[in-house]
Amino acid sequence: MNMTTEPDRKRINSISAVFPAYNDGGTIASMIAAASVACRQVTEDFEIIVVNDGSSDYTASMLEEMQARYPELRIITHEKNRGYGGALKSGFSAASKEWVFYTDGDSQYNPLELTELARKVYEGADLVNGYKLTRNDSFARVVIGRAYHYLVKFLFNIRIRDVDCDFRLIPRHVLQGVALKSVSGAICLELVKKIEDAGYVFAEVPVNHYSRKYGISQFFVPWRVIRTLQQIAKLYWMLVVKKEHLRKKS
């Protein structure tokens, strides 16, 4: 795909594709295969990083098999589950390429749509966020997700339309400029808030969201919801009331 012929347009020289995985043995192989195809369409220099966050299913054995087929695959293993935020932070820290693309390992997003995010970069975007065309989850999860979206958008003055869409393409230097603390799913809220407060503007691209084919959602386990709400309260205190991240830069 040759879309970088104009000198004023940005190039994607290299990409790290990051996938946090927890009990995603039934989906992670297809995610790796799709990511390899997508990355090859936008750059010649890429790596795929999967963070196995203490999975108890056959995720580990599946990753070993895939690594034999895909030399670009790097595996990070957490012996114990550190939470979604902990897995993402490990993946971000390990990323070595100029751009970082990340999404979940549960196959609810299609890595092939990375090309649409890359198109925005070619047009000059600093970074790109996907937003769900429709949410293919149960009615309860749709309602809870919608409530979460409006709650954090109001409390944190988030500008993007879908903070809960974990399908993003971000320059690595931007990620290195934000100190992420969350260990739960609230890390995405923290990430977006700190990036927007740093003055960056996300370009936005519609992406498809698919129903889960394997495993169960980790976010909607009651104790995880409670922990995430606690994290949101802490983030509100740090980022909105005290504005700690802004004071450190001033």
Say what the pLDDT of residue 11 is.
83
Reported as a pLDDT band with limits 50, 70 and 90, residue 150 is confident
Could you tell me the residue ranges of all domains in the chain? 15-247
Domain 15-247, CATH homologous superfamily name and number: Spore Coat Polysaccharide Biosynthesis Protein SpsA; Chain A (3.90.550.10)
- Contact of 119 with 207, CB cutoff 8 Å: no
Secondary structure of the chain: what % helix, strand, coil (to 5)? 45, 15, 40
Checking if the pLDDT of 5 tops 90, the result is: no
Q: How many whole angstroms separate alpha carbon 140 and alpha carbon 146?
A: 10
Residues 6+ apart with CB under 8 A from 250: none
Checking if the pLDDT of 8 tops 60, the result is: no
Site of tokens 């890595």: 111
Q: What is the dihedral of CA 135, 27, 42, 20, to 10 degrees?
A: 80
Average pLDDT over residues 159-185: 93
Average pLDDT over residues 205-234: 74
Say what the pLDDT of residue 210 is.
87
Checking if the pLDDT of 169 tops 80, the result is: yes
Phi, psi of 110 (to 5 degrees): -105, 115
Site of tokens 């795929």: 48
